[in-house]
């Protein structure tokens, strides 16, 4: 054997030996991390997370027994790190950049429902799509959404009122109403498209396709479902396409949903493509906003449309071109994630308000003061600045996201050998105390947001209580590590994989460097809650009905003991305004929408305040001035 070949083989053998020894030592370290025993070799501890009565059961039990870092067992004998340590989560989702990509199973699961859009992509492809989408979330674009948000909320209020009057039953399942409303909002905002979800209800084909989708597909999966989900992330594309035809419960439900949403998405793209091909801008939605970005044209948007890619694809610039599949996937991503996450958070906010009537009173007082302020300055609309000036409403949203995060947590894989730093040192089974964990490339980690959100070291001794006032008590200055929390809601949307720490916001993780990307949903929730809380009183339904945090991928509300397996939130809903005043308010809102002079608008608003007892101390002189103005 030639000496050079002998040296080469010896070197290669030594390299492989050192590499295997290095990995073995790292794996030996993971084996020393304490944690629960596996349920089975095939499914590991996954059933503990996905089949418990509440999604939080295993999380809280493991946090109490093992602390903020533990070892769990994944599918087919693999190990996984289960983390709720603040510094570790910050490192994985922020400091390390793209070094902890999404797991193949997570990516393929999202692709089944959403297509290969922003949630699915990673690395340079994700950065490309994110750059194309970024201009759509500017402050100027967001400013025009509030009237549309309020319009859809008012429409929903009217429909709920009609349901109560027609049935004589004040108990309303809020989940379908909130889902239909947010679906209409995302349709109007993303594509200037009317899904007719609020009026059409369950007769609407798209509404039917989305109805209870997550619970139907993912509630209490079998071991076979768990194994198939994992294996679909490990096989070649042609095998993956074949596996999508398997007769599992989740895949059968997804196959009923996909053709409907794909057809709607294609109709939207065809419509907008035709407009651009004929030199028409269409409405000033996000498609137009993004199109203007690529053409370097300055426009004033009044709608949001996530698909300026249509114009980008009609251009000759390969940097802005996306495939038709990518364009459709972006639409389906925003259709689903843009309404499901918001509707779920709104559901939990109303649930907590129904149990805390004193906080409803504080919110109505704050809304009343805001209405008075807007009327006094003579503006036609509530602005972003107005919403930002409120205290109790943002605190409600932040605390709801902390206490009921959309996702209990997310999986990531280490993209390289690394050390994960810890804020809270852990004790290994050997008795050794460590402040960092070495991981090898490919090591799976799970970040438990729900556990982080209950850490008393971060949130105080009342971390297990729903207490919105914590966000009015300057608590953030007491934190040493701040992950930002409103961003927790947008882990599902995954507008970016590179979050930043936003110290002025709270409630967990995954906030983008460009904070306007999540501002859309924040503004939507603020505007919707303002309308709902002002018009209705919410209280628990009669009887001892308990609401569980159901593990349906997102954390959905479900009635304990229900045989239906559906997400639902029954609440007693009472009209807060007298009917006559409510009808008067609706008429004045209509007048405002069709447009009236500035002077007449001010008069109408003051009269509205008087009629609804929002201005109780107005003096006779001001009333006389109003009469003089009218005549």
- Could you tell me the pLDDT band of residue 137, with boundaries at 50, 70 and 90? low
Highest mean pLDDT among 46-60, 117-131, 466-480, 579-593: 46-60
Q: Which residue has the higher pLDDT, 612 or 353?
A: 353
Instruction: Tally DSSP H helices, then E strands, for the chain.
Output: 27, 11
* Higher pLDDT, residue 164 or 521: 164
| Residue 237 burial (C-beta neighbours within 10 Å; 0-12, 13-18, 19+) | exposed
Query: In the prediction, which pLDDT does 236 show?
Result: 85
Report the pLDDT value the prediction gives residue 418, as an integer from 0 to 100: 93
**In this structure, what token pair is assigned to residue 449?**
């947001």
What pLDDT is recorded for position 291?
44
The phi, psi pair for 433, rounded to 5°, reads: -105, 130
The whole-angstrom separation of Cα 85 and Cα 69 is: 7
**pTM (2 decimals)?**
0.80
Instruction: Evaluate if residue 219 carries a pLDDT over 60.
Output: yes
User: Where does the pLDDT of residue 135 fall: very low under 50, low under 70, confident under 90, or very high at 90 and above?
Assistant: low
Model pLDDT, residue 142: 75
Contact 35, 82 (CB under 8 A): yes
Given a contact cutoff of 8 angstroms between Cβ atoms, the answer to whether 490 and 518 are in contact is yes
Tens digit of pLDDT for each residue in 504-548? 233 333 333 334 457 788 889 999 999 999 999 999 999 989 999
C-alpha distances (whole Å) from 299 to each of 268, 293, 455 are 22, 9, 46
Q: What is the mean pLDDT of residues 339-366?
A: 95
Strands (E) in 105-213, as ranges, are 171-173
Q: How far apart are the C-alpha atoms of 412 and 498, rounded to whole Å?
A: 13
Determine contact, residues 465/486, Cβ cutoff 8 Å: no
Lowest-confidence region among 107-116, 330-339, 358-367, 379-388: 107-116
The tally of CA atoms less than 13 A away on the side-chain side of residue 577 is: 24
Average pLDDT of the chain, as a whole number: 77
pLDDT per residue as tens digits for the range 433-449: 999 999 999 999 999 99
**Least confident stretch, 134-138, 176-180, 380-384, 393-397:** 134-138
Confidence of residue 611 (pLDDT cuts 50, 70, 90): very low
CB 62 within 8 Å of CB 70 = yes
Q: Among residues of the chain, what percentage have pLDDT more than 90?
A: 43
Residue 87: per-residue pLDDT: 95
Half-sphere exposure of 517 (CA within 13 A, CB side): 27
pLDDT of residue 370: 93
Q: Write down the pLDDT at residue 188.
A: 85
Of residues 611 and 167, more confidence is placed in: 167
pLDDT at 398 over 80: yes
Contacts of 370 (CB under 8 A, 6+ apart): 382, 386, 389, 390, 530
pLDDT digits (tens, 9 = 90+) for 56-66: 999 999 999 99
Residue 615 has pLDDT above 60, yes or no: no
- How far apart are the C-alpha atoms of 424 and 434, rounded to whole Å? 9
Return the bridge partners of 559, or none.
547
Torsion of CA 196, 339, 151, 193, to 10 degrees: -40
**Cα–Cα distance, 463 to 402 (Å, whole number):** 9
Query: 3-class DSSP state for residue 165?
Result: helix
Report which of residues 167 and 235 the model is more confident about: 167
In this prediction, residue 628 carries a pLDDT of: 35
User: 461-485 burial by CB neighbour count: b if 16+ within 10 A, else e?
Assistant: eebeebbbebbeeeeeeeeeebbbb
CA-CA-CA-CA dihedral for 152, 157, 161, 167, to nearest 10:
70
Q: DSSP string covering 510-569, please?
A: --BSSTHHHHHHHHHHHHHHHHHHHHEEEEPPSS---EEEEEESEEEEEETT-SS-----
pLDDT of residue 328 exceeding 60: yes
Q: Is 556 a residue whose pLDDT tops 50?
A: yes
What pLDDT sits at residue 180? 93
Residue 580: pLDDT over 70: no
**Given the structure tokens 């364009």, which residue do they identify?**
327
The two structure tokens encoding residue 363: 């919110």
Query: Is pLDDT of 83 > 80?
Result: yes
Pairing of strands 79-83, 444-448: parallel
pLDDT of res. 319: 53
**Local structure of 631: helix, strand or coil:** coil
């Amino acid at each position: 054997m030639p000496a050079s070949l002998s040296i080469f083989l010896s070197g290669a053998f030594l390299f492989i030996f050192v590499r295997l020894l290095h990995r073995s030592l790292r794996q030996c370290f993971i084996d020393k991390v304490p944690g629960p025993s596996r349920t089975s070799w095939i499914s590991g501890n996954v059933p503990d997370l996905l089949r418990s009565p509440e999604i939080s059961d295993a999380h809280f039990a493991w946090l109490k027994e093992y602390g903020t870092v533990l070892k769990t067992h994944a599918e087919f004998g693999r190990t996984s790190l289960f983390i709720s340590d603040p510094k570790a989560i910050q490192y994985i989702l922020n400091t390390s950049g793209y070094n902890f990509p999404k797991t193949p199973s997570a990516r393929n699961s999202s692709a089944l429902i959403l297509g290969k859009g922003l949630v699915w992509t990673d690395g340079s492809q994700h950065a490309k799509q994110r750059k194309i989408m970024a201009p759509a979330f500017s402050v100027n674009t967001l400013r025009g959404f509030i009237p549309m948000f309020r319009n859809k909320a008012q429409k929903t209020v009217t429909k709920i009122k009609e349901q109560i009057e027609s049935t004589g039953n004040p108990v309303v399942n809020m989940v379908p109403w909130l889902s239909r409303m947010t679906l209409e909002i995302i349709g109007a905002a993303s594509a200037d498209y009317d899904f007719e979800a609020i009026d059409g209800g369950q007769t609407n084909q798209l509404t039917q396709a989305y109805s209870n989708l997550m619970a139907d597909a993912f509630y209490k999966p079998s071991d076979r479902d768990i194994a198939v989900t994992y294996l679909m992330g490990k096989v070649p594309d042609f095998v993956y396409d074949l596996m999508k035809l398997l007769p599992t419960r989740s895949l059968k439900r997804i196959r009923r949903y996909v053709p409907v949403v794909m057809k709607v998405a294609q109709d939207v793209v065809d419509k907008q493509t035709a407009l651009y091909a004929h030199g028409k801008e269409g409405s000033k939605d996000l498609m137009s906003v993004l199109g203007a970005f690529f053409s370097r044209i300055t426009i004033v948007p009044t709608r949001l449309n996530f698909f300026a890619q249509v114009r980008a694809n009609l251009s000759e610039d390969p940097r802005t071109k996306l495939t038709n599949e990518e364009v459709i996937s972006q639409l389906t991503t925003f259709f689903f994630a843009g309404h499901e996450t918001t509707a779920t958070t709104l559901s939990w906010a109303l649930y907590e308000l129904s149990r805390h009537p004193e906080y409803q009173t504080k919110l109505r007082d704050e809304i009343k003061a805001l209405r008075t302020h807007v009327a006094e300055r003579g503006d036609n609309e509530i602005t972003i600045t107005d919403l930002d000036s409120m205290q109790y409403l943002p605190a409600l949203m932040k605390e709801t996201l902390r206490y009921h995060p959309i996702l209990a947590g997310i999986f990531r894989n280490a993209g390289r050998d690394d050390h994960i730093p810890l804020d809270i040192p852990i004790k290994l089974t050997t008795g050794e105390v460590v402040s960092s964990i070495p991981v090898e490339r490919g090591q799976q980690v799970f970040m438990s947001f729900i556990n982080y959100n209950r850490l008393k070291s971060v949130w105080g001794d009342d971390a297990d209580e729903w207490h919105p006032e914590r966000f009015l008590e300057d608590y953030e200055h007491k934190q040493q590590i701040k992950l930002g929390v409103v961003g927790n809601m947008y882990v599902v949307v995954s507008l970016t994989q590179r979050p930043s720490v936003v110290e002025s916001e709270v409630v967990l993780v995954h906030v983008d460097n460009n904070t306007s990307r999540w501002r859309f949903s924040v503004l939507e929730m603020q505007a919707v809650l303002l309308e709902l809380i002002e018009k209705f009183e919410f209280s628990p339904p009669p009887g001892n009905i308990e609401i569980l945090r159901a593990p349906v991928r997102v954390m959905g509300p479900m009635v304990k003991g229900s045989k239906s397996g559906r997400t639902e939130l029954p609440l007693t809903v009472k009209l807060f305004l007298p009917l006559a005043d409510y009808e008067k308010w609706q008429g004045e809102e209509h007048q405002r929408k069709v447009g009236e002079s500035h002077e007449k608008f001010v008069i109408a608003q003051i009269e509205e305040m008087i009629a609804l007892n929002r201005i109780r101390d107005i003096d006779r002189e001001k009333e006389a001035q109003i009469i003089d103005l009218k005549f």
